[in-house]
Structure 1
């Protein structure tokens, strides 16, 4: 934010969880936003996620690489139009690795490439309840990139959705990475601050691009549609 008294600096929120403000510059944000707009178009485009209990998530989502649904992965948009999921481009996988190295150091970067992206769009009223990213086989760090409106990002503990947790303001261009002892920490978005996106970005609302490594060749979890080995 222009004219701040104290510049925002890199912060370790918990062991293994690091916030890097302003990691993506303005050009990088615009390029990522344009790509998100392409990915959001049908087929296998932006959709509303329905929960097993019959409710709906207030944020809308599109997936790359593999399609996430509660609580697993598929190669097609099984809870959308059924189309094959769009591929995750090499440049985005490389960005994920670069993000981990920037936040946690080169040794934290996984040997396998990032192969899944979940892109959530939040309007002014959208929220995300406390949850864990536990549907993957890999324990590689999760990479989160923010575009558009600022939000309150609540980062908790690995035991429950309750306290202790830390609220972090994520702004457009910010990076948040969590791995190691924080990999399965509960986290959520209790609030979005409408109208706070950079004026030159051209986005009303918030986009969050989350990168993960599936690791499904390493253990018992399978992808919907795969045949048992």
Structure 2
């Protein structure tokens, strides 16, 4: 992995952690929440600058199912982060308070909606690059040879994580939040913060697993199509 690819990978992982912490606004407080949001946007801007060639290539070449999938996810993530920034600035009480904007209920609804879509899309984006992440980890750990026991253990862990992720997805009513069924996101002060992060990490793991294997399936189908038409 070259230096640029490593930087992009590190930025992706930091952004993933930041959006997870930012979702616990009631734990961090408004000021830290807003600073996390600004940091997230700055990292996203750097990420896009590092991937500028991808934007230049959008109108070039042929599009197969896998490329369409990547493109749609990336563009939706771009729109989501921009919407989060706009609504966040409108709601700001500290960092952008000098602008004296009052987004009101509309900005609050917008911010809540795109927070959950941003969480899902960043998780999917991470899943699209999970193979590269695993390769980097294997090289760093110098795990050059295949190990069936290790592979089986990791697969079992992934299945268990995904299963708990399904439970957490429904118990946290993520689907309802993605369609803005609820106007406000109520925080349960009786819950342990650790449970909050475990639940959302498992939901993230579910998205990563589903995306990773979807990408593998699309890659397989793409390779078959190339062989059939060669």
Bin of the TM-score, shorter chain as denominator length = under 0.3
Choose between structure 1 and 2: higher helix proportion: 2
Choose between structure 1 and 2: higher strand proportion: 1
TM-score, scaled to structure 2: 0.26
Max Rg structure: 2
TM-score, scaled to structure 1: 0.26
